[in-house]
């Protein structure tokens, strides 16, 4: 097993290096910073297309709709990237929701995640690529983050997702595919997660920075299409995940992302920043973008807004600017 794992890893990296050098030769361009983190943050459609049959690669189709839980599987069965396995947000990437206690998409238990990831063939040395049709926000970035939280760093989100793959007329396949079983063992990184109690201590501490990843109108409390209470956590700053993207639905360059997050952080280190959203989906998009920017790894409030509002004693606010306790 040890030799097999090492072989998978070396063969995958050799495959990627070959592709990168081919691209350099063809375009006569220097490798940009976008290639430096490669398969631990993003991967391009070109690189994935040339690596479809590389050994030791698992592709996850994470398409999902919050208003139609069957949407993603229907779309996957109709057409998906060849070799991709469908990852259902509610079933595969979440734990059970407990009314009055948890948010809408609680983290899965390590035991559940181990079983799911093993079934898909994920194990040490295997490269994982996740995609969806929402530029990584639903729910490819969540799958990416879960793997990191559980110790599997060789995971990347397909930049531009399903749309980028489709508009370049790359091969697709219909039907349902399954993976060859592997042996995934979780190695939890507890420092990547914070609780509601910790958020309550951090939210007004100038040594930390709490960010709301939802769209500005939800942060401001103008609209709330999903949860029963509108607004944001008192003391949180607005950092909509959509600002990570270009008009084509791909991620901004690392340089542009760095400018964005340095402005938001105002000198607070990345590891002292915390992101949340409605139910732990789009917040992971911001965590990926900050890592892509080279600023380090921020933390996730795993309950997010839908858990915070379960306790009506927890402070909330409305409006476009962060407020302080009265």
Confidence of residue 27 (pLDDT cuts 50, 70, 90): very low
Q: Which of 36-50, 105-119, 286-300, 302-316 has the lowest mean pLDDT?
A: 36-50
Closest to 268 measured CA to CA, from 194, 203, 190 = 203
Structural contact between residues 128 and 139, judged by C-beta atoms closer than 8 angstroms: no
For the chain, percent of residues with pLDDT exceeding 90: 84
Closest to 148 measured CA to CA, from 279, 297, 2, 34 = 297
pLDDT digits (tens, 9 = 90+) for 201-229: 999 899 999 999 999 999 999 999 999 99
Calculate the alpha carbon distances from 74 to 60, 65, 162, 219 in Å.
15, 11, 14, 31
Per-residue model confidence (pLDDT) at position 63: 98
Distance CA 182, CA 280 (A): 27
Catalytic (active site) residue 57: no
Residue 214 burial (CB count, 10 A): 25
Q: How many CA atoms lie within 13 Å of 136's alpha carbon, on the beta-carbon side?
A: 33
Per-residue model confidence (pLDDT) at position 52: 87
pLDDT digits (tens, 9 = 90+) for 269-302: 999 999 999 999 999 999 999 999 999 999 999 9
Q: Side by side, which strands form the sheet with 155-158?
A: 42-43, 155-158, 127-131, 57-61, 85-86
pTM greater than 0.85 (yes/no): yes
Distance CA 70, CA 67 (A): 9
Average pLDDT of every residue of the chain: 90
**pLDDT at position 22 over 60:** no
Handedness of CA 127, 128, 134, 136 (dihedral sign): negative
pLDDT digits (tens, 9 = 90+) for 71-96: 999 999 999 999 999 999 999 999 99
Q: What is the mean pLDDT of residues 21-44?
A: 48
Pick the catalytic residue: 57, 62, 94, 277? 277
How wide is the angle at C-alpha 60 spanned by C-alphas 55 and 62, nearest 5°?
170
Q: What single string gives the DSSP state of each residue in 67-108?
A: TBTTHHHHHHHH-B-TT-EE--HHHHS-----TTTS-SSPPP
Domains in the chain: ranges and CATH: 2-167 (3.40.250.10), 190-317 (3.40.250.10)
Per-residue model confidence (pLDDT) at position 321: 85
Per-residue model confidence (pLDDT) at position 325: 66
């Amino acid at each position: 097993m040890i030799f097999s794992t090492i072989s998978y890893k070396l063969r995958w990296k050799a495959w990627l290096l070959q592709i990168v050098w081919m691209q350099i030769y063809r375009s006569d361009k220097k490798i940009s910073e976008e290639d430096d983190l490669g398969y631990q943050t993003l991967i391009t459609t070109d690189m994935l297309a040339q690596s479809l049959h590389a050994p030791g690669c698992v592709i996850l189709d994470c398409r999902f709709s919050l208003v139609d839980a069957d949407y993603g599987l229907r779309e996957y069965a109709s057409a998906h990237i060849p070799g991709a396995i469908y990852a259902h947000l509610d079933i595969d990437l979440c734990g059970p929701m407990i009314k009055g206690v948890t948010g809408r998409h609680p983290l899965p238990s390590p035991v559940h995640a181990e079983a799911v990831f093993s079934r898909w063939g994920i194990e040490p040395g295997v490269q994982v690529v996740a995609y969806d049709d929402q530029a990584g926000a639903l729910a490819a970035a969540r799958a990416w983050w879960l793997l990191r939280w559980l110790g599997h760093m060789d995971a990347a989100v397909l930049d531009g997702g399903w749309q980028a793959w489709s508009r370049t007329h790359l091969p697709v396949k219909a039907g349902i595919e399954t993976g060859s079983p592997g042996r995934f063992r979780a190695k939890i990184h507890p420092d990547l997660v914070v609780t509601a109690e910790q958020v309550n201590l951090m939210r007004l501490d100038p040594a930390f920075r709490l960010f709301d990843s939802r769209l500005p109108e939800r942060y401001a409390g103008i609209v709330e299409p999903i949860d029963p209470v509108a607004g944001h956590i008192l003391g949180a700053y607005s950092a909509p995940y959509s600002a990570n993207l270009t008009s084509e639905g791909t991620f901004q360059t690392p340089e542009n992302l760095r400018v964005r997050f340095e402005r938001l952080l105002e000198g607070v280190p990345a590891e002292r920043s915390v992101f949340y959203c409605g139910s732990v989906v789009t917040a992971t998009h911001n965590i990926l973008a900050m890592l892509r920017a080279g600023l380090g790894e921020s933390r996730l409030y795993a309950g997010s807004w839908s858990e915070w509002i379960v306790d009506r004693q927890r402070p909330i606010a409305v409006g476009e600017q962060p407020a302080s306790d009265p």
